[in-house]
Each structure stands twice: as structure tokens, then as C-alpha cells.
Structure 1
Amino acid sequence: MVVLATRPPEWTREQFTLWWRGEHAEQAKKLPGLQAYRHGEVVFDYDHPEAPEWDGHAVLTFPSRDHLDAALKSPQWAAAVAHVGRMKGKRIVLVTEEADLLLRTAGQPAGEAAT
């Protein structure tokens, strides 16, 4: 799952990053089945260099779609969503299936990992 988000208008970028990596991460890290949780602070936006469209992104990794679906139905997810509250920023949440393109060898079909 990939989340893109902007900060509330009254927050600085630094406040938003500290909040996301600190107290909000403590909520999200409790999700059942969560294998990896990465956060990136947007430091430059090539399409909008003067005013970045987003302030950060998070990538939450689960072993399967079933594990993700179970996490989204969990009380831990409800608590993480409640923690965000009525924040005035915006967000986009995407569910993706990743393929590691560096692991693929020449001639190997997409979707098959090298061993």
C-alpha cells in the first residue's frame, strides 16, 4: 500500500515529517501482518519545483493481499485512522503489486523473480 499525503496548512514540513515518523508511525507499526513500513519526505518535486504537490509518502508492505485486507479491517487500522483525525491535508492511498525490476534477468518475463 502506498500513501501520498500533504501536511495541514498550518504545519511546517518539518512538523509533518516528525509527526508521521514519530507518533503516527507508532500507530501504523501495530498493523497485523505488516512486514515493512517506509516513509519518504518529499525534498524536491520535478513537476512542481516551486511548490511540491506532496509532502511525503509511505509504503506499507504485507505478505499478501489477504494480509493487507485483514489489516484494513483490524482495530489497529481503525486506531491509526482515528489518530489522523480530521487533518486538513490531503492523501491518496493506493494498493499496488510490486515487481523488483532490478532482480529480473534479461529475457525473463515480467512478474517472475530471478532466483
Structure 2
Amino acid sequence: MYNLMVLAARPGDWTHEQFIEWWRGEHAEVTYPLPGLLRWQHTEILDSADERSAGWDGLSVLSFADRAALDAALASPEWKAAVEHVGSMRGRRMIWFGDEQTLVPLADPAP
């Protein structure tokens, strides 16, 4: 699996709740059609371990089969639409790409 990871913070004039609602709602609707998107996990950041980690609202991990599939998504009109939807929001973000390796698999829930 090859991932695109986005760490983001809301614009200064938005509440955390507004930003999460926008990200998981309106912005998600624009992002779902990305070609080759296999999985999308989103974590609402509610607390931080230290001051250096504070100030972020959420983390998205969008998963693709491989780097070629991610590159195809990034070259698509659907990606262009998602980027345009973000527009000049003024929030902060950091974006990375990387190969996923599962170190501890998801356990089956207890019966």
C-alpha cells in the first residue's frame, strides 16, 4: 500500500469542530472520487503529547495500491477538484507520500 498523508490545522477564524465537519463532510465528498483510492482513514486530533506537537486538527491517510496509482490520482481532474476545493483556506498543512508496512495487524474484536 502506498499512502498520501496530510496533517492539517484549521484557519484561525474556524473552530476545531467546524474544520473537522468540513473535512469529513464537504471536502470528503470532493475527495471520494479520486481514482485508485483504496482506503481513507481520518483521525481527529484531540490532544497532543507535548507543546511541539500542539496546534494540529487532523490527519488523513489516503491509500493506493502503489506509487503509480498515487501518481495517477495526483494527475487526475478529481485531484485538481479536491485541491481547488481547499482553495485559499489559510490553514496549515504538511503532506507526505510513503510506502506502508504493517507492523501490528488489526486484531479481531473479542466475541
Shorter-chain TM range is: 0.7 to 0.9
Q: Which has the higher contact order (CA 8 A, sep 6+)?
A: 2
1: distance between equivalents of 2:79 and 2:51? 32
Instruction: Decide which of 81, 86, 89 is 1:87's aligned counterpart.
Output: 89
Matched, 1:38 2:41: yes
Q: C-alpha displacement at 1:24, in angstroms?
A: 0.3
Instruction: Decide which of 1, 14, 17 is 2:17's aligned counterpart.
Output: 14
1: distance between equivalents of 2:40 and 2:8? 15
Match of 2:29, SS state, is: helix
Q: Runs of 4+ in structure 1 displaced over 4 angstroms?
A: none
| Corresponding position of 2:108 | none
2: distance between equivalents of 1:76 and 1:70? 10
Matched residues, percent identical?
Answer: 50
Matched, 1:65 2:67: yes
Gap runs ≥5 in structure 1: 104-115
1: distance between equivalents of 2:68 and 2:103? 24
Pair member with larger Rg: 1
2: distance between equivalents of 1:76 and 1:35? 15
Q: C-alpha displacement at 1:98, in angstroms?
A: 1.1
Q: C-alpha displacement at 1:52, in angstroms?
A: 2.2
Match of 1:96, SS state, is: strand
Pick the structure with more strand per residue.
2
1: distance between equivalents of 2:104 and 2:56? 27
1: distance between equivalents of 2:6 and 2:67? 16
1: distance between equivalents of 2:29 and 2:54? 26
Gap runs ≥5 in structure 2: 106-111
